A and B are shown apart, each in its own frame.
Chain A
Amino acid sequence: MTIGGIIVNRGRTSQGRPADDHHGWHPTSAHTTAIAVGTLLLAISILAARPDIALVGIPGLLAATWATTTRPTTPLTTTLHEPPGPTAPGELAATLRLTTAGTPGTTPTADIAHLRITAPGHRDTHLALATTRKPGAGEAGVREVALRLSSVRTGPQETFSVDVRGSRHGLWEEEPTEVGGARRLVLPGAAPLGRLPLPRRLRGLTGPHSSRRLGDGSELRDIHPFTPGDRLRRIDWRTTARRSPELDTLYVRRTYSSAEATAVLVVDSRDDVGPDLRTWRGYGTLRVDEPTSLDLARHAAASVAQALVETGDRVGLEDLARRRRPLPPASGRRHLRRVVHGLALAHPKDRAADHRVRPPQVPADAVVYLFTTVLDDEPLHLVRTWRAKGHPVVVVDTLPDLHPVIEHHLWIAWRIARLEREDRLAALAGEGVPVVRWAGSERDQAAVRFEALARAAERNAPGPSTSAPRAAAP
């Protein structure tokens, strides 16, 4: 920290002397100018024998005199308070606390604070504030200022950097100080979804769904003669009395066992593209008030994960760009938080796809939700591999709605890329892979589309028709 031109570290100058009373206050050029103007006008008035000319410079001289007699001695202390832990999109906020050691009315200290607030993707904000508020409006000598970013982006985000300079009477100024916010993690939000496509075969002995296997459940399968191993409490006495009045054969009610579905969310985080094609070249600034493809993928995946966990199903997470252990499928609120946290940390990595020699391993009988922009052939290969192994796949298209481009070469490049992408989507549709779009106005239709897919799968799926969410993806 530099105070009055002296480098001060931990309260001491470079010579080791204490710098307690070095608060960096120095008179401004306005102070010097006021004295110079007053002196000059006084000289002119003497030369011209006109005292009224000197009067023009008197207010400035008086103000400079007043400022000299009230030299500030205490610094303006600034701290930035941010709520701990991760946050949600649109809620990146902090509180700037301006503390004056004394009361500006009695102890000479800063009466105005000049702020320059910078944040990535935002305009610089210049603001001049009074360091004290009205009496009774809060703690004496303390001014709290609420700050909020307009970012809708998710994942790790840089926050505020505030340069503060105190001034007194406009004639004394303090050396500027800088306070900065920490890098914060913005977790993706989740939109409510209805029923979702589920795998054809369900796993486990407990869960919210009825499987096609016999077992302990609530769904009636059939009435069957008693066999060794059947529980006595399952004997249906009414049926037995009707079918075997002599009680030579007992009948039991057999039910389908309950089961749970397993879903794996695969996030294609190898690229992160925004609606502005000019930023696709690797340079240019992505706007923070528009979601990118990765933001949409995080949002869609969090929504699907929440819908599945709420119905008691198991959800796992795979990140295509990172070579780390995937989150194995599990259920419960705590696991949902882990999934959302993992989604927030997904980000592109250079040539990450080159390291993957084969598609991510997926548990048996799991449905795969692939969140991708389909801008290259890799998703197509992944889908075909999973389907060849018998996994139903649902592709969620997370390419944002693009802005029109003016540059001719970009327009041509995008036409070619778009045609290739449409070919891939058409190939997926031809192979019976459902593609749900999750961008712009079509995001609102995504829940309806998922519901339609779930119903279509339910009609085609063998086994019991259940009221619980159960469907098979095509």
Chain B
Amino acid sequence: MKEIVIISGKGGTGKTSITASLAKVAHEEVVAADCDVDAADMHLLLQPDFANSEDFYSGVIAQINQAKCIKCGKCKDVCRFDAISIVDKQYVVSQLDCEGCGYCAQICPRDAITTPQQNVGNFYISSTRLNMPLVHARLGIGAENSGKLVAKVKNEAKALAEKRKIPYLLVDGPPGIGCPVISSLSGADFVVFVTEPTISGLHDLERVYELTAQFKLLAGCIINKADLNKEKTAQIKKFIRKHNIYELDQINYDEKFSEAVTNGYTAAEINKEYERNFKHLWEKIKEIVLEDK
């Protein structure tokens, strides 16, 4: 099984639309995974049935048992996150500020502090209208996106692909370069950057490329809205060639793209031409992934 991860650095470049379009043309060959658990959108295009749902627990938060507390204040003293304060003469933990390090519970002389596991969200294994399974998740509001839920989504998707003997895993990654992105890259066989010819698009592509280069990952690039700024598109191409990134495709600015999303279908379903182009792109990606040893 080969794993293809689609990321962009910058948000809103068209990652999800393009991933869903690739999933549409690849259908029986892929398990799709939405690893942008912070703002997951792929389900809006693939319409999963949410058939299997499970709670996901990760990390802890401190809780003070007021009956046992002797108000010595040691917990507040050691907390580096200012998560413990005195309210109405009682020591209380701010859920949003607590990092879950458990230091307070360690030093409490009366064992008045417990650290229960936190339910940080749900993950789902679904069937979709396009005949491929989708593994996706929803992070709880304000929960920590430590990358653990991302890892869970990927592991479940991998297990599913192996069980059903599906050859490819297609991952819609999160924006940025931090923990969730690093988590979505672990184990990738091929990374696809979706960028746009804007000053920010290029800047963010450079940063995210530097990250994937640290992991020595094979990479390709799709330039979305390529005709918006020909000068920037040329600069991006220059950057791609310099770093031996595969030039996969360029897609022109087209309001049909957002119309498709508005009506709940993928760009590959706009017309025959788009379908043909995405099929061609998918074949190209497979060729690169299979050639790589």
The answer to whether A and B belong to the same complex is no
B residues apposed to A, CB below 8 Å: none
A residues apposed to B, CB below 8 Å: none
